[in-house]
Amino acid sequence: MNNATVIVLTGIQDQVTLHTLLKEAFGFPDYYGGNLDALYDMLTSLSEPRHLIIYGEDDPEPGMKTYIPKFLRVLEDAAEENPLFTFEIRHHSRIYDRKPLVVCGSWEDAENLNMFLNNLNIPEITSRYVVCCFSFGTNNDGKHHTRTQIELKLAEIIMKLEPAGIIIFAEMLKAPMTCERLADIGHEHNIPVFMLEHDGDDCINFKLDYTSGFRGLVRHIIEDHGITDLMMVAGYKGNPFSEDRIKVFKEELRAHNLPVDSNRIIYGNFWYVPASHALSEYLENNGGKVPGAIICANDTMAMGCCDLLVSRGYRVPEDVIITGFDGIKDALCHFPTITTAAPDYSEVARLISSTMNDWDPTQPAKTIEYTIPYKLLLKHSCGCNDTTWEEMRDISSTLFRDNQDYFMHVHEMGRLTSTAITIADTKLLAAFLDQHLWLWKDQMFFVGLTESESCINAIYSSWKENYEYGNKIYNPVTILPYLDEVLAYGSNINFLLFSQLRSLDEAYGYLCTGSSNVPLRLQQRFEEMESYVSSIVHSVLNNNKLMRVNREMKALSEMDYMTGLYNRRGFLSRVAAIVKDPRNRNKVFNYIMMDLDNLKPINDNYGHQEGDVVIKALAYAIQTRVHKTGISSRFGGDEFAFVILSDSPLDDEADDLRHRIEESAQNDSSIISKPYKILASIGIASCPVSDFPSGRIDSVLERLMNAADERMYADKQKRHQR
């Protein structure tokens, strides 16, 4: 059932509360009497179809036991009188086979979080619990109090889950207010609170033994490989984790009677590109001589150093050994695979399981401390375990599969965003998502908007091939309509991922997906989905607000906030004006699609803020080229659409046009000194302006848009194959 009104009777204490919900749900006028007679009058007067779903009629509060049957009889009489009103009663169980076990982390450290989640996928845990992972932000500078308050609304969802335990990645979250509130939730409900990398009162605290883990790597290189000529790539100067690893590095050099030379400690800022730049500078200053081993403070920098050396003809590990630290998936999918160390999260999972089994909620919580060791992962980059052809094949297949999935998902989400940006009604958005979220229909998925304190708008919900959209749930007592089925044995759901739909200063609702396990790509895809849906919801709600304001505000709504170009709405309105202008009847209408080829590596290597700089530079270059001969727009993400009016078709000039725009963007003052190139794919479709009918232009424009999109995609494929 779609676009239904759902009222949950469980927990409703009195008649006033029930009728207040009914008034809100059906939009009854202020004069609604708030009694059964008035309800009958309103329902029999409905002039549009409305369907009501009732939950909890078999679980009323004591004060409502005699009133609920009367209420249901009124619904029956109204449905018999008015065929436009229908209703049904559904049942759900509040007795669950398994309980939620909440994990609070952040996508900012996605690989570390993913390692931890996968270690929880053991029968001792999944037979009794469903792991519910909530993603928070990582604000720790004290300047984003409002943002933290917004994210704390996720805590309200956690409370509704009634979890059996809460696991908090304190170092990952970095926001003390968030960690304290999450711990308070656990203490208030007398459930165990597990804290990683933070000493919480009355918590089970896990401290990762970074020092011993890093020391083990350094000793392995010195003692087992006999290397005496070492250098180190540290993180940020002054960062406590970086400084601790520098300290260990120096201690081990002294312990083995090796010289300590601070000039052989360089800083790579924990990122791939800065690390490779720092190493390149070091080599230039030392005549290209490499040490026997390079000890890196994390895996990302180790991969950057390794790739730089290989590109310059050095052999790893024959000429130089390289080690990382953290044990992330990328390091193990790299060639050569990176020798590293990973936290023993399997031990954490075992301790969590045993603590949950022995937990007595009647006893006061105690502070318990555990130290978690690191495990050495000896791989190809130190020479201990060469990468086999089978491993290379698996690495290649994994990377190819993940890259293909990423490209398909981002492409589809970009198309979704660029189309949905014109919607101004959540009902239309709900129907639209049902048509376009085919990538997620093979698993459990839920999108909920918080319309009021008493209402969740379930704009999209999929479960067991049952797809519903637009159902508004009043008095929701659970965060998912089918939570009892998800928590049941045999549901094939061991993990639920939650993320907040929000802008910088407003929370809209939440997103959830479920699966039997959590491969990293699924987690990344969910993060991408959250970003796009947040953007879509933000656009829809903003469009809805803009409909109520004056024409000046409407004009503003037609502009893209980041680039100053038109958005899709503004673009389409200007297209209509262009083709209707009699001065253009003898012109050729060239519709052009363009998007960036390398935004993801720029985001990954330099940060998303740098990616925004690239988007702006390309926008300005397009606008400079179009100028007075047409119009330009940003549809969403890194996808641009523009029109150039000319005397002849530009289809055969696609390469030249792309080159000029790329060159112009590369010469932008914000880009000219950057170490990367701006690369874009292009697609052009043309027709005479006279081909547009005098009335609606949709059919011609849609044909051009589809053709240009296909040619841009073909151009992208061709360029990727070079």
How far apart (Å, rounded) are the C-alpha atoms in residues 509 and 460?
12
pLDDT of 277 > 80? The answer is: yes
Q: How many CB atoms lie within 10 A of CB 95?
A: 6
Q: How many CB atoms lie within 10 A of CB 590?
A: 25
pLDDT band at 140 (very low <50, low <70, confident <90, very high): very low
pLDDT for 548-558, tens place per residue?
665 556 656 78
Residue 441: predicted pLDDT: 61
Q: How many CB atoms lie within 10 A of CB 173?
A: 28
pTM above 0.75, yes or no: no
Q: What is the mean pLDDT of the segment spanning 154-165?
A: 88
Which residue(s) pair with 589 in the sheet? 645, 687
Looking at the domain 397-546, which fold is it? Answer: Beta-Lactamase (3.30.450)
In CATH terms, is domain 5-90 a member of 3.40.50.300? no
CA atoms lying within 13 Å on the CB side of residue 711: 19
pLDDT for 466-496, tens place per residue?
888 889 999 998 888 889 899 999 899 999 9
Copy the structure tokens of residue 74: 């009124």
Tell me which residue of 488, 524, 523, 617 sits closest to 565, measured CA to CA: 617
In CATH terms, is domain 100-143+173-208+345-374 a member of 3.40.50? yes
Residue 553: predicted pLDDT: 61
Residue 668: predicted pLDDT: 83
Tell me which residue of 216, 276, 282, 211 sits closest to 240, measured CA to CA: 211
How far apart (Å, rounded) are the C-alpha atoms in residues 298 and 13?
56
Contacts of 448 (CB under 8 A, 6+ apart): 456, 457, 458, 459, 479, 509, 510, 511, 512
How far apart (Å, rounded) are the C-alpha atoms in residues 679 and 89?
57
Strands ordered across the beta sheet of 293-296: 265-267, 230-234, 293-296, 321-323
Residue 543: predicted pLDDT: 74
For tokens 């009043």, what's the residue? 474
Helices 345-358/110-119 angle, 10° precision: 50
List Cα–Cα distances, 273 to 62, 111, 245, 395, in angstroms: 65, 18, 20, 22
pLDDT of 663 > 80? The answer is: yes
DSSP state of 257: T
Copy the structure tokens of residue 156: 């309200």
90 sits in which H/E element = strand 85-90
Same topology, domains 5-90 and 210-342? Answer is no
Tell me which residue of 632, 643, 593, 640 sits closest to 614, measured CA to CA: 640
In CATH, which superfamily holds the domain spanning 210-342? Response regulator (3.40.50.2300)
Which residue(s) pair with 688 in the sheet? 588
Q: What is the mean pLDDT of the segment spanning 227-256?
A: 95
Q: Which amino acid is at 66?
A: T
The length of the chain in residues reads 722
DSSP state of 566: B
Are 683 and 592 a contacting pair, CB within 8 Å? yes
pLDDT for 8-60, tens place per residue?
999 999 999 999 999 999 988 766 778 898 899 889 988 899 999 999 888 88
Where does residue 454 rank: exposed (0-12), middle (13-18), buried (19+ CB within 10 A)? middle
**Domain 558-720 in this protein, CATH class:** alpha beta
* 3-state percent helix, strand, coil for the chain, nearest multiple of 5: 45, 20, 30
Q: Is 556 helix (H, G, I), strand (E, B) or coil?
A: helix
Tell me which residue of 602, 608, 719, 581 sits closest to 659, measured CA to CA: 719
pLDDT band at 541 (very low <50, low <70, confident <90, very high): confident
For tokens 């000793």, what's the residue? 219
The beta strand positions in 576-704, using DSSP E, are 588-596, 630-636, 639-646, 680-688
How far apart (Å, rounded) are the C-alpha atoms in residues 446 and 442?
13
Q: Which amino acid is at 210?
A: Y
Where in the chain are the domains?
A: 5-90, 100-143+173-208+345-374, 210-342, 397-546, 558-720
How far apart (Å, rounded) are the C-alpha atoms in residues 71 and 87?
12
Are 676 and 713 a contacting pair, CB within 8 Å? no
396 sits in which H/E element = helix 389-420
Contacts of 55 (CB under 8 A, 6+ apart): 6, 7, 8, 9, 10, 89, 90, 91, 92
How far apart (Å, rounded) are the C-alpha atoms in residues 629 and 325?
55
Q: Is 230 helix (H, G, I), strand (E, B) or coil?
A: strand
pLDDT band at 141 (very low <50, low <70, confident <90, very high): very low
pLDDT for 357-412, tens place per residue?
999 999 989 999 999 999 999 999 999 987 777 777 777 777 777 777 777 777 77
pLDDT for 287-342, tens place per residue?
999 999 999 999 999 999 999 999 999 999 999 999 999 998 888 888 899 999 99
Contacts of 320 (CB under 8 A, 6+ apart): 290, 291, 292, 293, 294, 309, 314
pLDDT of 620 > 60? The answer is: yes
Q: What is the mean pLDDT of the segment spanning 640-660?
A: 93
